[in-house]
């Protein structure tokens, strides 16, 4: 394994760790009812918007959390200085994070589990493909596209980072307690 590939693999593991921790925090905040259903936050979601976003309302909770995470994920640009390579890595990592973090939320939430995600209706994920929200596929595709458009030379590292994140996510799914789909 090259030094660059080893670095990308470490980044994938760090990204997975962040996803897992975020999921655990959000499980404590939201409990069994995802998408801030039980939280004291504002909501906006006319039907046309819900159709466009796969059933996700805009909530104050998610707006502020997303802005916070985007800012944190782009801090390397402040500390290390701007470069196309780093911008591509920060942006693509944020997009990968959105899918992997959500998968961890379902995997480790005692009220859900992977079987329930795949078989039960999820109000904020109206459309699924092969049992998973289409949003996951869109996030991974957008992540790859961000690298391809901003810094094409980074695609190999992206593949390693995304592959490591996927492998760690799969291991997490295997290690998580089994829950009935009910």
What is the C-alpha separation between 106 and 101, in angstroms, rounded? Answer: 9
Measure Cα distances from 147 to 5, 60, 93, 100, 103 in Å. Answer: 16, 29, 10, 18, 22
**Quick check: helix, strand or coil at residue 133?**
strand
Measure Cα distances from 156 to 13, 14, 94, 99, 149 in Å. Answer: 16, 18, 18, 20, 14
Output the pTM of the full model: 0.94
pLDDT at residue number 51: 95
Residue range 113-153, pLDDT digits in tens: 999 999 999 999 999 999 999 999 999 999 999 999 999 99
Residue range 31-89, pLDDT digits in tens: 999 999 999 999 999 999 999 999 999 999 999 999 999 999 999 999 999 999 999 99
């Amino acid at each position: 394994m090259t030094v660059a590939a080893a670095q990308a693999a470490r980044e994938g593991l760090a990204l997975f760790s962040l996803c897992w921790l975020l999921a655990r925090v959000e499980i404590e905040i939201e409990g069994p009812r995802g998408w801030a259903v039980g939280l004291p936050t504002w909501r906006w979601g006319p039907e046309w918007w819900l159709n466009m976003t796969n059933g996700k309302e805009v909530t104050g909770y998610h707006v502020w959390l997303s802005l916070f995470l985007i800012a944190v994920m782009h801090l390397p640009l402040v500390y290390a200085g701007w470069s196309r390579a780093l911008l591509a890595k920060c942006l693509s990592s944020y997009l990968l994070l959105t899918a992997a973090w959500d998968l961890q939320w379902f995997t480790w939430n005692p009220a859900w589990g992977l079987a329930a995600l795949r078989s039960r209706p999820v109000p904020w994920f109206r459309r699924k493909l092969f049992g998973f929200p289409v949003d996951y596929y869109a996030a991974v595709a957008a992540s790859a596209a961000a690298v391809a458009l901003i810094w094409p030379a980074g695609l190999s590292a992206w593949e390693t980072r995304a592959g490591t994140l996927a492998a760690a996510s799969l291991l997490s799914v295997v290690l998580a307690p089994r829950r009935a789909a009910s």
